[in-house]
Amino acid sequence: MSVAVVILNYNGRKFLADFLPIVLENTQDAAIYVADNGSSDDSLALLAANFPSVSVLSWAENLGYAGGYNFALGQIQADYFVLMNSDIAPRKNWLQPLVAYFEANPSVAAAQPFLLDYHKPEYFEYAGAAGGFWDSYGYPFCRGRLFDTIEKNEGQYATSMVNWATGACLMVRTEVFHLVGGLDAYLFAHMEEIDLCWRMQRAGYSIAAVAESEVLHVGGGTLNKENPFKTYLNFRNNLILLYKNVEPSLRFKTIFIRMILDGIAGIKFLTEGKLSSFLAILKAHYGFYHYLFFEPKASPVQKNWIKSYSGNILVDYFLRGKKKFNQIKF
């Protein structure tokens, strides 16, 4: 059994300087790699001067989260990969519970530790919290985080199966990662881990969140939540993963309603004076149509149709006032 922890870096010198020592201190029995995704800062010089024990892979072009990890992991041999953001501070003994869980559960293809806020460690962190789900229209949400409502971690969530595990710190079974074709490089960044986890489940495997493992996450290290490019990627990629993974008999209706909801979100952005975000949604829909008509489509390993939460998380949260995961009834 071997583990490779792979940190994808793009102009993240400060995060590497601050967080890589913590990764090295708290990670035993794993090889540590930094995969540099075409950085133009002095990240590589920092690594050469200060972290000689870390293996470095580098290339000239920014391939995004998905393409970058696909390229890097294709060059690394290990039984398990951990895809880790550069702004992650793992707690002591974070890796052993994950490895033990995988070894005890051979049907699990991907898992995450519980993600806690670096600045407020008593709270979950937005990007993945205690494991994720999606609703009937593809809106992702997490145990411990519904939209911008973040819960305090009071032991209310245990290790369990989920529908998606966060790409901020994602452990995958290497064999299954390659079996399903890795990450979808066309997505570039955002929601690519949801697509991967969805496809792994379609291939007959399970996804988990492991409470005994905890890491702290800063969040927003590459793109902050107000960045129009982030808005574009989130809206475009969500439509693409619905097209790829929703049962064909439900696909048209699901995407049609989702586009109407996107239009409502666009109007909201306009009323808030966020013209760039409104235009990002329009561009996202154009990007989805480009994918639909011009991009080659890979066939899934199996055609199992996976469901998550059958309700509408927008209605639950904004109209019914359900602000915590435990108030949602599956």
Q: Report the C-alpha dihedral over residues 205, 155, 6, 225, rounded to 10 degrees.
A: 100
Residues 90 and 184 in one domain: yes
Smallest Cα–Cα separation from 64: which of 222, 289, 285, 240?
222
pLDDT at 220 exceeding the cut of 80: no
Pick from 182, 217, 252: which residue ends a domain?
Answer: 217
Same domain, 240 and 200: no
3-state secondary structure 105-144: CCCEEEEEEEEEECCCCCEECCCCCCCEEECCCCCEEECC
Comparison of pLDDT for 226 and 129, the residue scoring more: 129
197 shares its domain with 269: no
The percent of residues in the chain predicted with pLDDT above 90, rounded, is 94
Lowest-pLDDT range, 32-46, 118-132, 214-228, 267-281?
A: 214-228
Average pLDDT estimate for 221-248? 90
**What is the per-residue pLDDT for 224?**
67
Q: Are 61 and 137 in the same domain? A: yes
Q: Which domain holds residue 258?
A: 228-327
Local confidence band at 23 (pLDDT 50, 70, 90 cut-offs): very high
Query: Looking at the domain assignment, is residue 223 inside a domain?
Result: no
Shared domain for 181 and 35, answered yes or no, is yes
172 and 249 assigned to the same domain: no
User: What pLDDT, on the 0 to 100 scale, is given for residue 299?
Assistant: 86
Query: Using 50, 70 and 90 to split pLDDT, how confident is the model at 330?
Result: confident
Alpha-carbon torsion, ordered 156, 160, 165, 170, to 10 deg = 100
Domain end position, chosen among 159, 187, 217: 217
**Same structural domain for residues 165 and 44?**
yes
Q: Is the domain of 286 the same as that of 206?
A: no
Average pLDDT value for the chain: 96
32 and 130 part of one domain? yes
The answer to whether residue 222 sits within a structural domain is no
Number of compact structural domains in the chain = 2
Q: Could you give the CA distance from residue 200 to residue 184 in angstroms, rounded to a whole number? A: 12
Strand 169-173 relative to strand 160-162, pairing:
unpaired
- Among 159, 192, 217, residue at a domain's last position: 217
Residues 27 and 121 in one domain: yes
Question: Same structural domain for residues 193 and 238?
Answer: no
